Structure 1
Amino acid sequence: MPSMSTEGLSLTFSLREEIDDRMRALRVTLGEKTPSEYAFSNLYLFRQAHDYRYFPGPLPRITGKTYDGARHVLPLFDPRQASPAELAEVLRDQDFLFPVAEDTLASLDPSRLYWTDSPDDADYFYPAENFRTYRGDLLRKKYNLMQQLLASWRIDVKPLTEDTSVDAALVLETWMRDKKKLPGEADDSACSEALRLYRHFGMEGIVFYADERPAGFLIAQPFTPSVAVMRFAKGSDAYKGIYQYMFHHYCATRSQLQWINFEQDLGLANFRQTKRSYQPSSMLRKFRVRVRT
């Protein structure tokens, strides 16, 4: 292992196995309500945006900066098993623990700790059945868009491979143009890296074609036996209904899948409107835990 200063270790790919082992154990403990951040892939792909650093030891952790500029600690240990003094030491130069799942709070000492949460941070949680059937008045428009796509184009589906990743990269370029985004103004850098490294992260990728032209792709990550996190989904505006079909296909071809986590909306109005339109069954609240002074 490389030497570590008081500033921790840079988040390099060589740390993948060590950190993923710890996160896998936490996902087992937290179950279906595990925050979407709890995978090495998520940390690695956004390591620059959040300036993540790794601190091994008895209380292993990741430090970073939230999108609103606060310094936080992502614990790679169960906070319920740490004493208030240990948590205070972990947070000595940081603002709070984050993300902490709601089920964890009941075992924390409210006389020593306090917590808050924001709707901007909460993960959107959906029954996979929503996407399999698009049943009901609130989802009928999604079903109709999917049928419009299928009536207009012949849709083919291929797994993400070294060959099809070239087509997925073309879709990403098209998506950036459609959204009028310059490089670095969206998640294009992380998405490009995911297209290259998805196998190393245990992700599943699918590329979709309309009349043999690349139309969209998605990258999802099985999280628990019943939950998958939708990490990236990009489609060309030229193929109306492509998103609805991509989500439908992913869920319809995985009979054991019960839930889809669409991650947070970051307080962005367009993300919020789109994610709400798929009718989440709940929002997985993620808390910021601070030490009382």
Structure 2
Amino acid sequence: MDFKPLELADKPVFDAMLGQRYYENSWFTFTTFFTWRDNFSTAWALSEDSLYLRLQANGLVYFLAPFAAAGRSFAAAVDAAVRESRCRNEPFLMKGLSPAMWAELDTAFPGRFAMTAQRDYFDYVYRAEDLRTLAGRKYHSKRNFVNRFLAEHTDWSYEPLTAAARADCLAVEQLWCRQRDCTGDGMVGAEYRALTESLDHFDALQLRGGLIRLAGRPVAFSIGEQLNSDTAVVHMEKADASIPGLYALINRECCRQAWGDVEYVNREEDMGEEGLRKAKESYYPVRLVEKIKINLREG
């Protein structure tokens, strides 16, 4: 396979391949691949009607689940990745499989692969209408947070996110970092670079989102894109944590105004952070998108 670095000009190729099947995994967007490419040394290749990505993290080289064309066997595409690993004299590792992908692979090659479900990376998917309305007893506390904010602040405004708000979003991100004392956190630094890339190429990446100002000052933003035919994915969302109710408000307003045309909203994974897991569970997801990693069984 002829792997090469990822460039913005590659987006049409990715969109064409990703559009041939229904993917729920939040990783599976060109925006994610492109904006995090430096952090993972991402390279890609087209081979036998399949799109492959090789990444590196923590000293490990691995594939993402390949994007096979509609008429191409997923199991055959994985088998080609195994052969590529052998040619490179690398141990085979692949991430991002769905349960359906795993079932197809294990049926085609019974006992050949070992699988591990990566719970820390499961995506949280919500009914968009639930997030727009916060209706019912289970969202009582969320409504209270929003109502508290509205009662205490009359000088707030919401606006659709555009590339012109680059400096505003970065200011919110920097404030968020100071509040968390995240200086020196490598992952936060990588996220900042990904956000910068997203804002620098906002229109080309076909992103959407929202920005909240308080007395003219930017205090919260949310940024995402269409993931599949009925689902939006929120890639990043930050707010001034010193203002109660602000996170609940940016979530609600973005779902109403940026994502008023979708049935579901994917708010990505919790990465094993207990506080983040509780926060995501508190919005009552309708399902979790499982992510599985595989390797070859020994022997």
Tell me the alpha carbon deviations over residues 254-286 of structure 1, each in whole angstroms, 9 at most, x when there is no partner.
443111111111112222222122121221111
Aligned twin of 2:208: 204
Aligned twin of 1:14: 9
- Do the aligned residues in 2 keep the contact of 1:73 with 1:97 (CA within 8 Å)? yes
Aligned twin of 2:67: 76
Between the aligned partners of 2:226 and 2:77, the Cα distance in structure 1 is: 32
Between the aligned partners of 2:111 and 2:204, the Cα distance in structure 1 is: 43
SS at match of 1:225: coil
Aligned twin of 1:118: 118
- Do the aligned residues in 1 keep the contact of 2:209 with 2:222 (CA within 8 Å)? yes
CA distance 1:269–1:95, shift in 2 (3 Å): farther
Between the aligned partners of 2:33 and 2:199, the Cα distance in structure 1 is: 16
CA distance 1:210–1:114, shift in 2 (3 Å): same
Tell me the alpha carbon deviations over residues 70-96 of structure 1, each in whole angstroms, 9 at most, x when there is no partner.
432121326525177534314432432
Aligned twin of 1:30: 22
Between the aligned partners of 2:51 and 2:265, the Cα distance in structure 1 is: 28
Deviation for aligned residue 1:238: 3.2
Measured on the aligned residues, the alpha-carbon RMSD in Å equals 2.3
SS at match of 2:204: helix
Between the aligned partners of 1:259 and 1:90, the Cα distance in structure 2 is: 37
Residue 104 of structure 2 corresponds to residue 103 of structure 1: no
SS at match of 2:158: strand
SS at match of 1:257: coil
Aligned twin of 1:88: 82
Residue 255 of structure 2 corresponds to residue 251 of structure 1: yes
For these two proteins, the number of residue pairs brought into alignment is: 282
Deviation for aligned residue 1:168: 1.8
CA distance 1:166–1:141, shift in 2 (3 Å): same
1:215 pairs with one of 203, 215, 219: 219
Between the aligned partners of 2:253 and 2:174, the Cα distance in structure 1 is: 23
Between the aligned partners of 1:198 and 1:160, the Cα distance in structure 2 is: 9
What stretches of structure 1 of length at least 5 have no aligned partner? none
Between the aligned partners of 2:80 and 2:235, the Cα distance in structure 1 is: 33
Between the aligned partners of 1:11 and 1:151, the Cα distance in structure 2 is: 47
What stretches of structure 2 of length at least 5 have no aligned partner? none
Between the aligned partners of 1:94 and 1:134, the Cα distance in structure 2 is: 47
Residue 182 of structure 2 corresponds to residue 181 of structure 1: yes
Between the aligned partners of 1:134 and 1:15, the Cα distance in structure 2 is: 39
CA distance 1:86–1:137, shift in 2 (3 Å): same
Between the aligned partners of 2:79 and 2:227, the Cα distance in structure 1 is: 32
Letter in 1 for 2:226: P
SS at match of 1:144: helix
- Do the aligned residues in 2 keep the contact of 1:220 with 1:230 (CA within 8 Å)? yes
Aligned twin of 1:157: 158
1:261 pairs with one of 262, 266, 287: 266
Aligned twin of 2:51: 60
CA distance 1:88–1:209, shift in 2 (3 Å): same
- Do the aligned residues in 1 keep the contact of 2:148 with 2:244 (CA within 8 Å)? yes
Tell me the alpha carbon deviations over residues 88-126 of structure 1, each in whole angstroms, 9 at most, x when there is no partner.
314432432221112222322323333221211211111
Residue 266 of structure 2 corresponds to residue 274 of structure 1: no
Give the TM-score normalised by structure 2.
0.85
